[in-house]
A = this chain, B = another copy of it.
Amino acid sequence: MKGDDYILLIDKNSPLPIYHQIEEYIKDRIEKGELKPGNVLPSEREYSQLFQVSRMTIRQAINKLVNDGYLYRKKGSGTFVAEKKFEQALQGLTSFTEDMKARGLTPSSKLLHFEIIPASPQVAATLQVAENTPVYEMKRIRLADEIPMALETCYISANLVKGLTEEIVSHSIYRYIEEKLQLEIGEATQIIESSLANETETELLKIKKGSPILLIERCTFLTNGTPFEIVRSSYRADRYKFISHLKR
């Protein structure tokens, strides 16, 4: 196809920013295999002419892809496609549901408990609210392909996340927070440790006493840095491994 035809792939009048469209275009070419790991990309100036946009706009698109690990730059040499990441889908902050789906399993859960309680000193400190401030407490068994995978206890600031119901909890809490309440979920801190199954875990996860357990405590923050959620999970070690990516 002729050079001019490339500009049909982006729409300058779209509400989507041009840099975002270009970002998707490049990501597409990588995922389709038209750009293979190690391949050099067209230079920024070439792209600039190709799409008839300024070089800075191209750079904005490429910057994002470099940050996300799809590309890497070599000054004086060019921009290249990075090797495929081990588990592209599993990186970043995901819910149990997203996590299981990415592993090819069907997630479900059984709600054991749901109420509003006054925050304990420890929970209050982590959520940065006063003691006895109302928080939601809920316990769930998390299953994958109908097999118990984890036991989860969750605390959420009731003053921040208002109007939570059993109905919403059984669907997606995150979607409710982001779409209905218009709060922006940012990052999370996790503490991961190894332990042995206690009575409750032995019973509910249907494993032997003394089996290894992967304990994960997550505190999730909004983009403005306010913590809104604590999740304490006990995963069966025989069925679950935690995968993470680190940047230097």
Contacts and interface: CB of A to CB of B under 8 A. Distances in A.
Contact of A193 (B38, B214, B248): B214
Contact of A87 (B189, B194, B223, B237): B189
A185 interface: yes
Given A210-B210, A247-B92, A247-B187, A224 B194 contact: no
B224 A212 contact: no
B186 A237 contact: no
Copies of this chain held together in the complex? 2
Given A92-B246, A191-B242, A192-B244, 19 more contacts: A72-B225, A80-B224, A82-B225, A83-B128, A83-B225, A83-B226, A83-B227, A84-B225, A86-B219, A92-B247, A93-B247, A185-B248, A188-B246, A190-B246, A191-B241, A191-B243, A192-B242, A193-B214, A195-B237
A124 interface: no
A245 interface: yes
Nearest to A67: B67
A35 interface: no
Interface in A95-140: 128
Interface residues of A, number: 50
Given A244-B244, A248-B186, A224 B191 contact: no
A201 to B, nearest CB: 12
Interface of A: 37-38, 67, 69, 72, 80, 82-87, 92-93, 128, 185-196, 210, 212-215, 219, 221, 223-227, 235, 237, 240-248
14 contacts: A38-B224, A72-B225, A83-B221, A83-B224, A83-B226, A86-B189, A87-B189, A92-B247, A186-B247, A189-B244, A189-B245, A191-B243, A192-B244, A244-B244
Given A192-B192, A194-B213, A69 B187 contact: yes
Closest 9 CB pairs of A and B: A83-B225, A194-B237, A194-B194, A93-B246, A82-B225, A194-B214, A194-B212, A192-B242, A86-B189
